[in-house]
Amino acid sequence: MQPSRIWSEIDFQKDGKATGYLRVPISTNASAYGWIPIPIASIKNGSGPRVLLIAGSHGDEWEGQIMLIKLIQSLKAEDIQGHLIILPGANAPAVQVGQRVSPLDDGNLNRSFPGDPNGTPTMMIAHFIEAVLLPGCDLVCDFHSGGSSLEYLPSTVVIAPRSDSQLRQSVDLLRVFGLPVGFATDASTGGDRSLTGACDRVGSVLCLSTELGGGGTASRNLLRAAEDGLARVLHHIGVLSAAPEGSHSGSTQLLYRVRPADFVYSPANGLFEPFVTLGDSVGDGQEAGCIHFTEEPWRKPVTIYFGMGGVVLCRRFLARATLGDCLFNVGRTWTPQ
């Protein structure tokens, strides 16, 4: 594998807490020998599990970024056993402008693995994560949300695991995190180009993700629940020494979602009127909403239907919709063997 061209201000081998930047080289009209800063923290205390925490893979998903910024400030090396590496704004150029993809290269970090050490900035970041940060990790927690265009029923997420032991460990993590919903999805959304694909290539790295709300905002209650959930997971795997104070909310409903069967897309350009809300149970073929036509207000709206029934996991947050936009997805009851 070719070496990364990104260099780190911090030494990942050293015990203690260190913060600084990954420096992604860039050469432009305005900055011939410059670098793009990607904030990173390493908190290490002796031997133990190695865990990578990532947010801001998509720049407009705020909840995870807030959680990890707070964690960097609150955690001390003596609070943990092992090694925590924290990337609170992984695609920092996208984070800076509050967009899903990077303004430098239109790069979607979670569709860019295994990356390229000689590629665009987003490809270089993906390569660094897969080639330098992931090897030796026991667990990756990757915090996503609905971003600007979607809103999710707050959920923890795993990609349908490959082996029995991964399945058991993944379901355990969904339950320990403790959000009311945990769902498994197939690899069709990001596939081999996603961080989960990178975890599979590197080897036995468990990958836990989230979909925390969205709509371009961050709610107090959801942040609190996610912060408590992450603390429980870190304690569960032996990184956080002290048991977290946040109490478990109760049982986690397990769901399964595949694409395209459980997704509903806009059949036209217009204004999207939803007929259901997040968390509703819907039946096969039930009406999901309709599209109104602003330029032909006398034209009959087009009704949209769910294909498969299930629990409404996600909806389009923006009312303006274009042919092909995802409007909903649902999760079906999942009973892991």
Distance CA 259, CA 326 (A): 11
First to last CA, the chain: 37
Which segment (55-63, 89-97, 201-209, 284-292) binds Zn ion by CB under 5 A? 55-63
Q: For residue 114, is the peptide bond before it cis, meaning its omega torsion is within 30 degrees of 0?
A: yes
Question: Quick one: 213 or 289, whose CB is closer to Zn ion?
Answer: 213
- CB of residue 100 to Zn ion, shortest distance in Å: 7
Separation CA 151–CA 60 (nearest Å): 12
Provide, rounded to whole angstroms, the least separation between the CB of residue 234 and Zn ion.
21
Residue 314's identity, in one-letter code, is C
Closer Cβ to Zn ion, 43 or 181, answer by number: 181
Binding-residue pattern over the window 87 to 126 for Zn ion, x denoting contact by CB under 5 A: ----------------------------------------
Question: Binding to Zn ion by residue 144, rule CB under 5 A?
Answer: yes
Stretch that binds Zn ion, among 6-14, 26-34, 141-149, 299-307 (CB under 5 A): 141-149
Binding test (CB under 5 A) with Zn ion, winner from 17, 44, 50, 58: 58
Q: How far is the CB of 109 from Zn ion (least distance, A)?
A: 9
| Binding window for Zn ion (CB under 5 A); candidates: 138-146, 187-195, 302-310, 323-331 | 138-146
Structure tokens at 267: 């059949």
In the bound state with Zn ion, the residue whose beta carbon lies nearer, of 83 and 315, is 315
Question: Smallest distance from the beta carbon of 142 to Zn ion, in angstroms?
Answer: 8
What is the smallest separation between the CB atom of 209 and Zn ion, expressed in angstroms?
8
Minimum CB–partner distance for residue 167 and Zn ion (Å): 23
CB nearest Zn ion: which residue? 144
How many residues touch Zn ion under the rule CB under 5 A: the total is 3
Single out the segment in contact with Zn ion by CB under 5 A; choices: 34-42, 139-147, 281-289, 305-313.
Answer: 139-147
- Residues of this chain that bind Zn ion (CB under 5 A): 58, 61, 144
